[in-house]
Amino acid sequence: MLLLKKAYAALALILITMASVSEARAGLYGFNKANPYTKEEEILKMDYLPLEIRNYRAAMRDNLLMLIDYAKEQKPNFKIITHEGQELLTKSLWEYNLEGYNLARQKHEGIEDSFFLSRENFNDADPTEGTSAYRYLNLVDAVAINNLYCGQGKETAVTKRHNLGLISIDQCSDDESFDRAIISSVLDKKMIYGFTDKEKAFKEILGLPVINDSAQNVNEVKDAKNILFAIDDSLYENKDAFVNDLLKTNYDIIVINPLFQHKQRFSSDDIRSLQFKKNGSRRLLISLMNVSEANPKDYFWKSSWKVGSPTWLVRPSFVEKDSVIAAYWDSNWQELIAKHFKDIITTGFDGVFFTGIENHQYFEHLTPLE
């Protein structure tokens, strides 16, 4: 692997030299379901142990860091919100065990028990200062977790210790459980985006309750009390109608796709107007960005592409029928997301909502340590 400094320099060059862009959209993990594991993927048979297993978490973390570093260079106050991926906030037990495995294999030692650290004795401590995990943890403004109140979602110790902003995205079974979730989130002082009707989730703009509605200016994620995910604009015939409905709301944070229906850029006037609530106070306008999946509607998609061609398009998405999971450490993929990310920044968004982070789990599944 390249040193982070060298990798960032390479990415910066890519970002500077490339201008046109579109989005790389995918559904949110935990809510959409498509292309589940095949029987072959579920029942893995490895005839021989690989000499070395890639650290897929570090690769994902380094990709995110390269993008974040570039963003902070351009806009120091650019906001970073991640969807799930709490395993990346610290150096996990899996990564320590991976290091032990790779070291043992390099020494041609047998691997009867690949767990080099005891789960019972492992302390999920903060990452060491100066490491990529430490830098990443200290650059993230908030983490969005699925079903903290209406399911089995859990906040990790590291997010509690560092008082990271926490957003819960909840699919509730009925209105009563949704009401309970709202009350719990207010008592916990956490933002919630919830829904009971999956068909309306991420599409509906005007029909949802605005929790803790206020006329205060919101310049930091930690100051926000409510959030809207309007990342499915398929109900709207044109961009102006979509923007006009968003302008009628008082949400502290709005998350949208960087392009309307995959193709139409928001104007500078659109962006400036959306950065203000209906009541006139300032809010944060955040762009969705998938960091590990490509879709045939994306600007860079070529008609000849399919799973396996090019080789870094490796598997159909688990959550979006037509999207494809990429080998996100591949330089070709890094070029594509670099172009995309540069446009998000230059368009004027206040920050980014990274999704697709959880795809590191797929690659780990293919090369299990246990």
Q: Is the pTM of this model over 0.85?
A: yes
pLDDT at 264: 93
Q: Give me the half-sphere count of Cα atoms (radius 13 Å) on the Cβ side of residue 194.
A: 29
pLDDT at 24: 36
- Is a pLDDT exceeding 90 seen at residue 253? yes
pLDDT at 4: 38
Residue ranges covered by each domain of the chain:
4-366
For residues 281 and 48, the model is more confident at 281
Encode the chain in three state secondary structure.
CCCHHHHHHHHHHHHHHCCCCCCCCCCCCCCCCCCCCCHHHHCCCCCCCCCCCCCHHHHHHHHHHHHHHHHHHHCCCCEEEEECCHHHHCCCHHHHHHHHHHHHHHCCCCCCCCCCCCCCCCCCCCCCCCCHHHHHHCCCCEEEEECCCCCCCCCCHHHHHCCCEEEEEEECCCHHHHHHHHHHHHHHCCEEEEECCCCCCCCCCCCCCCCCCCCCCCCCHHHCCCEEEECCCCCCCCHHHHHHHHHCCCCCEEEECCEECCCEECCHHHHHHHCECCCCCECEEEEEEECCEECCCCCCCCCCCECCECCCEEEECCCCCCCEEECCCCHHHHHHHHHHHHHHHHHCCCEEEEECHHHHHHHHHHCCCC
- Is a pLDDT exceeding 60 seen at residue 214? yes
pLDDT digits (tens, 9 = 90+) for 128-148: 888 999 999 999 999 999 999
- Is a pLDDT exceeding 70 seen at residue 14? no
Residue 122 region by backbone torsions, left for phi larger than 0, else alpha for psi between -120 and 50, else beta: beta
For residues 2 and 115, the model is more confident at 115
- Split at pLDDT 50, 70, 90, the class of 331 is very high
- Is a pLDDT exceeding 50 seen at residue 65? yes
- Split at pLDDT 50, 70, 90, the class of 15 is very low
Mean pLDDT of 321-329: 95
pLDDT at 113: 58
pLDDT at 17: 40
Mean pLDDT of 33-55: 78
- Is a pLDDT exceeding 90 seen at residue 121? no
For residues 286 and 15, the model is more confident at 286
Cβ within 8 Å of residue 300, ≥6 positions away: 22, 294, 336, 339
pLDDT at 207: 82
Mean model confidence pLDDT for the chain: 87
- Is a pLDDT exceeding 90 seen at residue 12? no
pLDDT at 287: 98
Question: Ranked by mean pLDDT, which of 23-32, 89-98, 209-218 comes out on top?
Answer: 209-218
pLDDT at 77: 97
Sign of the Cα torsion 47, 52, 56, 60 reads negative
- How far apart CA 4 and CA 134 sit, in angstroms, is 13
**Degrees to nearest 5, angle at CA 216 with 215 and 219:** 135
